[in-house]
Amino acid sequence: MTQTRHPFHIALLALCLINLIAMVWRELVPTSGVEGFLYPDGTPAGGDFINLWSAGRLVLEGRMEEIYRPDAFMAFQFSFIGAPIGHRIWAYPPHSLFLAVPFALLDYYLSLLVWSAAGLVVLGLGCRRLGMSVMETAIILLSPATVLCLYYGQTGNLTGGLLLLALSARQGRDLTAIGAAAILTIKPQMGFLLPFFWLSERRWTALIWTSSLVLIILALTVIWTGPTAWIDYVARTLAELSMLERHGTGPFMSMIPSIFMALRIVTGDGDLAIQLHLLVAIPIVVFVLWQLWRLDDPLRRAALVLVSTVIVTPYMHNYDLNLLAIAALLALRRFPPGQRGEVPVALLVGLLLALPQLVTLFNHGGVPISPLLMLPLLLTI
């Protein structure tokens, strides 16, 4: 893909700034009314970051066994917040606790600030290392998905940046890419296509070293936490998370743009929806793997991995959709200014950039068309 300074970039950046200003204005009053850990409406300031901070605090207090027992985890949060904050679990595997503990050493709000900044830094570095221009990187750092991730205190910016760093692997022993891929295993649904990408690029060294590093990390985790943490994570946390996604209700349903959630909204049956999702997802994965071996442009391969990760994963949320925006910007490079097809593709890019906000309207309104908007990008790359 050739790097072109596209006139649409300026318009996209302007739209991102408008969205940012609108969101800051909307949240100004609630933020000014924060007391303790809570907004005036009783939700935690920093959103889901409170789960990471709580997990780290439990480790520091020697109560690690409570992390993957949802009732005990929520009871611990109630003990220092003094109010219920909804159904909350620490949904990441035990080796994620290596990441959580350092943030629990700091005051909550200082830790939230460091967490937010770290996510932006890793995401920005990933964009630049992958070969995105300064303008493209600015669009991503100000995109609706990135802003929502900051608001919800989520991991999307960090894990998105880690995936970009891994996709930018150089020949030989690229320690940056290897380390990023190993850390990304805390959110495996984000990087499940990465091994196939490296195979298509014949990055044997990266595969071998990453596999070795992951095994070392997992072994150290078992030594540190013991087997109970892993048993509880699989038997309690994953089981509860699966049940929540398939049968639970609440605002999270409007935040998921996946085929699975669209089918769940339409059919009203979570078990049927996940089965139908797999029937659609498997052919898409087969198509993607074929394309990975057919394409000769590494950036097109990377864009293909990014968009297909979003489409195939059933539980991807709107704050993870900077992957989609990055893939869209990379696809736009194939259509320099004045070339046939430039305007339709640019409009698609703008639509997908706004999808993190639009998906809530679509799903809440009972017209979950987000997957239909993402599929054209898969065919454009």
Tens-digit pLDDT profile for residues 176-205: 999 999 999 999 999 999 999 999 999 999
Q: Is residue 328 part of a domain?
A: yes
The 10s digit of each residue's pLDDT in 212-235 is 999 999 999 999 999 999 999 999
Q: Is residue 300 part of a domain?
A: yes
The 10s digit of each residue's pLDDT in 233-250 is 999 999 999 998 999 888
| pLDDT higher than 70, residue 1 | no
pLDDT band at residue 5 under the 50/70/90 scheme: low
Question: What does each C-alpha distance from 123 to 19, 157, 162, 171, 178 come to in angstroms?
Answer: 19, 6, 7, 22, 16
pLDDT band at residue 343 under the 50/70/90 scheme: confident
Q: Is residue 278 part of a domain?
A: yes
Dist CA 311 CA 158 (whole Å): 20
Dist CA 381 CA 379 (whole Å): 6
Return the bridge partners of 124, or none: none
| pLDDT higher than 80, residue 339 | no
Contacts of 262 (CB under 8 A, 6+ apart): 363, 368, 369, 370, 371
Measured at the CA of 210, the angle between CA 290 and CA 174, to 5 degrees, comes to 90
Average pLDDT, the chain: 94
Q: What is the mean pLDDT of residues 320-333?
A: 95
pLDDT band at residue 8 under the 50/70/90 scheme: confident
Better pLDDT: 28 or 172: 28
pLDDT band at residue 334 under the 50/70/90 scheme: confident
Q: How many domains does the chain have?
A: 1
Q: Is residue 212 part of a domain?
A: yes
Q: Considering the chain, what percentage of its residues have pLDDT values greater than 90?
A: 87
Query: Two tokens at 121?
Result: 């830094």
Q: What is the mean pLDDT of residues 359-363?
A: 96
Question: What does each C-alpha distance from 46 to 105, 219, 225, 318, 362 come to in angstroms?
Answer: 17, 32, 27, 16, 25
| pLDDT higher than 80, residue 172 | no
Question: What does each C-alpha distance from 280 to 103, 125, 243, 371, 375 come to in angstroms?
Answer: 39, 34, 21, 11, 12
Q: Is residue 186 part of a domain?
A: yes
Dist CA 117 CA 119 (whole Å): 5
Q: Considering the chain, what percentage of its residues have pLDDT values greater than 70?
A: 98
Model pLDDT, residue 87: 87
Q: Is residue 260 part of a domain?
A: yes
Q: What is the mean pLDDT of residues 356-375?
A: 95
Q: Which helix (H) or strand (E) holds 337?
A: none
Q: Is residue 190 part of a domain?
A: yes
Burial class (CB in 10 A: 0-12, 13-18, 19+), 62: exposed
Model pLDDT, residue 2: 58
Among positive and negative, which fits the CA dihedral 363, 364, 367, 373? negative
For 98, the domain range is 7-13+26-380
The 10s digit of each residue's pLDDT in 53-109 is 999 999 999 999 999 999 999 999 999 999 999 889 999 999 999 999 999 999 999
Dist CA 160 CA 184 (whole Å): 9
Model pLDDT, residue 314: 94
Model pLDDT, residue 350: 94
Model pLDDT, residue 369: 97
Q: What is the mean pLDDT of residues 120-140?
A: 97
The 10s digit of each residue's pLDDT in 20-67 is 999 999 999 888 899 999 999 999 999 999 999 999 999 999 999 999
| pLDDT higher than 90, residue 167 | yes
Q: Is residue 2 part of a domain?
A: no
For residues 246, 251, 252, 256, the Cα torsion angle rounded to the nearest 10 degrees is 100
